């Protein structure tokens, strides 16, 4: 097969999905009593219904901005979430989020963050009405472009806590746990497909983090699994979750090495996982972080099959400054030595706000980064 199986979407100029939260939305979340990880921590002065109405207004505005810039793939900016992952995972029946008391934290370039660990307290199940379904329906109703849904990768339910976070009385056989994860995600995706979703992005930070030897050793202690086995498990959970998707749905997988207020937790090129990454994950496109030397060179792209698309994340979201258009074009030309240029696209390296705090950039910076993505894509692909 020549060329990627699906190109629209993903688009030559694309983006990862999360966007800066407007101040009035942040204030509304506080008034509604929501804490930092998406939980309702106190009784609010406004209702959840009132908060959702404000979210709706902010999403309409951010959709209009994306369309006015010229983006073809449009997201809701994850504006309804406090975190790219926690809000979604915590809504799965049978999962509760537990902040670890130990030092199993992530060192974000000097600041240790202990994210809540998804902990199994009963059999897993998709809640009635799904998780992203109503959010997608609203997004679809307010855009004339292609609405994209972003979800955290299913393996996070195992990666962050390992076997210790899965109650052995509920799941004496870990394979039953994996089967239920797959069922939850399959059911969620089926609902999205029925509602008209044609573009799904799975956010998988963990495969890229395993490229960092320190992170790989850390994960072996948590999961008891070596690097190759962990990558294979990640691929199996994703592949089984999406295997029933229709031909007209494009599924991409985004990878990065951490994105919290402009900081990161891992470094190292894709070499340790490249062969497995491109042979075992049955997705249509890979959004790959490539904005700094921490991500290594483009040589691992030589393993990309001819029917896959790679979206090069060349424009950083961690700082306000933009790379020059000339330098970005040179880098894409450099990548094309290992993969045909028709199998490439461009995007920012990660989201603009993986959590409600956002990266240390402004709304104007965010807009300029998207405009640069479009300028480069137009110059290279027309």
Q: How far apart are CA 209 and CA 259, in angstroms?
A: 12
d(CA 13, CA 201): 15
Q: Provide the 8-state DSSP code for 8.
A: S
* 128 CB burial (10 A radius; 0-12, 13-18, 19+): exposed
DSSP label of 319: S
Place of tokens 């049955």: 282
CA-based nearest residue to 258, from 234, 304, 298, 289: 289
pLDDT at 110: 52
Which one, of 193, 174, 175, 195, lies nearest residue 185 by Cα? Answer: 193
Beta bridge partners, 312, equal 288, 346
DSSP per-residue codes, 331-372: HHHHHTTTS-GGGEEEEESS-S-SBTT--S--HHHHHHHHHH
Which burial class, exposed, middle or buried, applies to 374 when counting CB atoms under 10 A from its CB (0-12, 13-18, 19+)? middle
pLDDT reported for residue 3: 60
Q: Which residues contact 364 (CB under 8 A, 6 or more apart)?
A: none
Beta strands per DSSP E along the chain: 73-74, 93-98, 106-108, 111-113, 117-125, 146-147, 149-152, 199-203, 250-255, 285-289, 309-315, 344-348
* 134 Cβ contact list (under 8 Å, min separation 6): none
The per-residue pLDDT for 114 is: 66
- Per-residue pLDDT tens digits of the chain, which is 382 residues long: 356 655 679 999 999 999 999 999 999 999 998 866 556 666 789 999 999 999 999 999 999 999 999 999 999 999 999 999 999 999 999 999 998 776 555 554 555 566 789 999 999 999 999 999 999 999 999 999 999 999 999 999 999 999 999 999 999 999 999 999 999 999 999 999 999 999 999 999 899 999 999 999 989 999 999 999 999 999 999 999 999 999 999 999 999 998 888 887 889 999 999 999 999 999 999 999 999 999 999 999 999 999 999 999 999 999 999 999 999 999 999 999 999 999 999 999 999 999 999 999 999 999 999 999 999 999 999 8
Its sign, for the CA torsion 319, 320, 325, 326, is negative
Q: What is the pLDDT of residue 319?
A: 95
- State whether the Cα torsion 349-109-161-40 is positive or negative: negative
Element (DSSP H or E) covering residue 326: helix 325-335
Q: How far apart are CA 336 and CA 134, in angstroms?
A: 40
């Amino acid at each position: 097969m020549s060329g990627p199986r699906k190109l629209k979407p993903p688009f030559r100029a694309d983006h990862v999905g999360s966007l800066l939260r407007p101040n009035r939305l942040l204030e509304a979340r506080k008034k509604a009593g929501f804490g930092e990880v998406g939980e309702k921590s106190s009784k609010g002065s406004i209702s959840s219904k009132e908060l959702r109405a404000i979210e709706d207004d902010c999403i309409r505005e951010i959709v209009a901005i994306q369309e006015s810039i010229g983006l073809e793939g449009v997201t809701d900016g994850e504006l309804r979430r406090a975190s790219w992952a926690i809000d979604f995972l915590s809504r799965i029946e049978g999962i509760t989020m537990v902040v670890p008391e130990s030092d199993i934290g992530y060192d974000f370039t000097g600041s240790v963050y202990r994210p809540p660990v998804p902990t199994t307290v009963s059999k897993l199940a998709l809640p009635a009405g799904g998780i992203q379904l109503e959010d997608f329906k609203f997004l679809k109703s307010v855009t004339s472009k292609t609405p994209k849904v972003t979800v955290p990768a299913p393996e996070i339910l195992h990666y962050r806590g390992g076997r210790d976070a899965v109650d052995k009385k509920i799941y004496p056989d870990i394979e039953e746990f994996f089967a239920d994860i797959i069922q939850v995600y399959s059911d969620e995706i089926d609902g999205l497909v029925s509602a008209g979703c044609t573009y799904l992005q799975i956010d998988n930070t963990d495969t890229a983090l395993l490229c960092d030897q320190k992170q790989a050793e850390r994960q072996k202690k948590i999961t008891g699994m070596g690097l190759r086995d962990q990558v294979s498990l990640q691929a199996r959970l994703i592949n089984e979750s999406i295997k029933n998707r229709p031909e007209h749905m494009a599924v991409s997988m985004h990878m990065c090495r951490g994105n919290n207020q402009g900081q990161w937790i891992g470094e190292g090129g894709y070499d340790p996982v490249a062969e497995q990454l491109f042979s075992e994950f049955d997705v249509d496109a890979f959004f790959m972080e490539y904005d700094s030397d921490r991500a290594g060179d483009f040589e691992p792209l030589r393993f990309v099959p001819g029917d896959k698309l790679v979206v090069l994340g060349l424009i950083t979201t961690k700082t306000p400054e933009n790379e020059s258009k000339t330098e970005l074009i040179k880098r894409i030309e450099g990548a094309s030595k290992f993969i045909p240029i028709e199998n490439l696209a461009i995007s920012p390296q990660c989201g603009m706000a993986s959590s409600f705090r956002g990266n240390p950039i402004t709304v104007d910076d965010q807009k300029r980064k998207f405009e640069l993505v479009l300028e480069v894509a137009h110059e290279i692909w027309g």
